[in-house]
Chain A
């Protein structure tokens, strides 16, 4: 047997030698491991680790798609700081998140509680609400574009049945963002709904029933029995929803093209526009990193805050 364990042992391996008896197994496994890991490790290194580092590098350059590149240091970042469009774009994204995340959680949790184990046929509802999550976002957004269109179902319905003129949802700076949020909730809440439903299934019915016999109302039963048991799911769902909602792109891109003006342009749209409309890769990369830092910050806050309200041992 060859003695080339060093070729497969990644850096950071413990210095202390393992017990002599286990050594051949470790060595043999190690060689196999390098074969088993090669595709994933190679792919991740080339397509994730290297580009992540590269993104930081590009963000420090004036990096046009064509032509000379020159080192700028942090100029791209200070440009972003002073660009009124970027500031507006960050505000828009935060506004979307602030509206979307709580509404999504309220709708999905409310429906999951409502559709508890006592409801017959809930599998059907589960599949139903999950369909838009799984269908291509662009197709969903196209459907809602038709819905929001002047003369579309909402406008036409309001006029025909209530005699009210609907606002021009996608063309009005005060209605466009709520319209995007409404569409996004329709398309996305099914995911958290499924997560919460699965968690609520684990709550023992006997506890709920005995609490009811003791005179606890529905709200009390939820607060003192169901809620403590589903906090891990709540933590997971809110963290994931926060992260993905900061990355909102297809909905405003197709519903409003970021308009009117820049009223609904988001950070990812800004990255796209800078990179592929104005061909400023350095600036686009810097904006991407700002988004990354925001997401890391939010996730860190969530993780540090979880001690206060998440129960893992009920």
Chain B
């Protein structure tokens, strides 16, 4: 009797809880829905006395117009190139050094690893002034080199992949070594294939941080129309009179699509990656 009323009460409570959660989710998504809705409105209907979800017509053309309003195709290509190249360098450099720290015995390994971890403490803001000076000295101001290389060597990836390499049983590698496999052979043939999930996590975090990076491109890129990345292109319109909000929102939504797709496709890896690294990758 009491257990029946209990389970009924529990059902009601869980129903209420679910309903409230859906409301929270809707409120949370509100800004994005509003952005999509604005991106599909005619320019003169962006600000109306009463907010409407739809304008008098659904203008898909805004998405195409964004590319003529500003060279967003160029920005997208630049961002894609920088993010892909940067991610490749990060994954290559960190997997190599992670292997050394996890598997090779050499003098001073522990001290060197502590030094690597120590560099994680240094915030980007401390580095930007000397980095700008360094780029000037190398003649790299306003170049793709400057967008890619300075942030492509971080101890974060080394740390993340080392944690994974440590979990690989040593016997696997010893067997390969007996068969005549050197460290390079076992790195490429055994460790890298096994570390695929960890590399996937590192790839996503790195790609996303390059894709969204703002402060550094703002500093180092002068010819925005030519070498600007997506965030820089978006920010160009701040403060300009007569911002075309509908086109801006179309561009903003497009800027979000690659990373949203990555999150949705790789959500299982991401949750695990967060747990394993415990370092974050913002």
B93 at the interface (CB under 8 A from A): yes
- A301 located at the interface, meaning its Cβ lies under 8 Å from any Cβ of chain B in the complex: no
The reply to whether the CB of B252 lies closer than 8 angstroms to some CB of chain A is: yes
**Residue pair A26, B107 in contact (C-beta under 8 Å):** yes
**B17 and A36 form a contact (CB under 8 A):** no
Give min CB distance, A187 to chain B, whole Å.
9
A285 in contact with B96 (CB, 8 Å): no
Check: B169 CB closer than 8 A to any chain A CB: no
Chain B residues touching A, majority SS: helix
In the bound complex, do residue A54 and residue B130 qualify as a contact, i.e. CB atoms below 8 Å apart? Answer: yes
A224 / chain B contacts, CB cutoff of 8 Å: none
CA distance A43 to B145 in the complex (A): 13
Q: How far is the CA of A133 from the CA of B92 in the complex (A)?
A: 25
* Cβ-defined partner of B31 (8 Å) among A25, A136, A143, A291: A143
Q: Is the CB of B133 within 8 A of A58?
A: yes
- Interface 9-mer from A9-17, A80-88, A96-104: A9-17
CB <8 Å contact, B25 and A125: yes
Choose from B215, B267, B270 the contact partner of A249 (Cβ within 8 Å). Answer: B215
Q: Are B96 and A247 in contact (CB under 8 A)?
A: no
Q: Within the complex, which residue of A30, A52, A240 is in contact with B107, where a contact is CB–CB below 8 Å?
A: A30
Cβ-defined partner of B124 (8 Å) among A139, A197, A247: A247
Selected from B28, B132, B134, the residue in CB contact (under 8 A) with A129 is: B28
Contact with A along B169-184 (1 / 0, CB 8 A): 0000000000000111
Whether a CB of chain B sits under 8 angstroms from the CB of A147 is yes
Give residues 49-82 of A contacting B (CB, 8 Å): 49-52, 54-55, 57-58
Q: B71: CB under 8 A from chain A?
A: no
Say whether, besides A54-B133, A136-B259, A152-B47, A9 and B126 are in contact (CB < 8 Å): no
Chain B residues whose CB sits within 8 angstroms of the CB of A114 once the complex forms: 17, 21
Query: In the bound complex, what is the Cα–Cα distance between A138 and B218 (angstroms)?
Result: 12
**Contact flag A288-B125 (CB < 8 Å), given A36-B183, A136-B230, A142-B248:** yes
Cβ of B255 and Cβ of A43 under 8 Å apart?
no
B63: CB under 8 A from chain A? no
Are B211 and A254 in touch, CB under 8 angstroms?
no
Contact of B280 among A49, A51, A240 (CB under 8 A): A240
Q: Are B231 and A40 in contact (CB under 8 A)?
A: no
Q: Please give me the residue from chain B that is nearest to A8 by CB atom.
A: B106
Q: Are A144 and B263 CB-contacts (below 8 A) given A249-B215, A292-B123?
A: no
Whether A52 pairs with B108 at a CB distance below 8 angstroms is no
Q: What CA separation (Å) do A133 and B173 show in the bound complex?
A: 38
Q: Majority SS of interface residues in chain A? A: helix
Mark contacts of A144-165 with chain B using CB atoms, 8 A cut-off: 1 yes-contact digit, 0 otherwise: 1111010111001101100000
Is B280 touching A191 in the complex (CB atoms < 8 A)?
yes
Q: Is the CB of B263 within 8 A of A271?
A: no
Q: Is the CB of A137 within 8 A of B212?
A: yes
Check A47–B131 contact: CB distance below 8 A.
yes
**Nearest Cβ in chain B — how far from A26, in angstroms?**
5
Closest to B48 in A: A156
Assembly CA distance A11 to B115 (angstroms): 12
**Which B residues, 98 to 145, have Cβ-Cβ distances below 8 Å to chain A?**
99-100, 104-109, 111-112, 116, 119, 121-134
Residue of A nearest to B96 (CB): A36
Q: Which single residue of chain B is at the shortest CB-CB distance from A289?
A: B126
Is the CB of B214 closer than 8 A to any CB of chain A? yes
Q: For B131, what are the chain A residues with a Cβ–Cβ distance below 8 Å?
A: 47, 51
Separation of A47 and B275 alpha carbons in the complex (Å)? 28
Determine if B267 and A127 form an interchain contact, defined as CB atoms under 8 angstroms apart: yes
Chain B: minimal CB distance from A302 (Å): 13
CB distance A143 to B122 under 8 Å? no
Chain A residues whose C-beta falls within 8 Å of the C-beta of B149 in the assembled complex: 43, 47
6 interchain residue pairs of minimum CB distance:
A43-B153, A151-B47, A13-B107, A54-B130, A136-B212, A40-B97
Q: In the complex, given contacts A281-B133, A299-B121, what are 19 additional A-B residue pairs having Cβ atoms less than 8 angstroms apart?
A: A30-B107, A36-B97, A40-B93, A40-B96, A44-B154, A47-B150, A50-B134, A127-B264, A136-B256, A139-B231, A143-B34, A146-B34, A151-B47, A160-B49, A194-B270, A247-B125, A275-B128, A285-B130, A288-B125
**Chain A to chain B contacts (Cβ below 8 Å), 16 pairs:** A9-B106, A25-B105, A33-B104, A41-B112, A52-B122, A123-B267, A130-B270, A134-B260, A137-B212, A139-B231, A143-B252, A146-B38, A146-B245, A153-B51, A254-B235, A288-B128
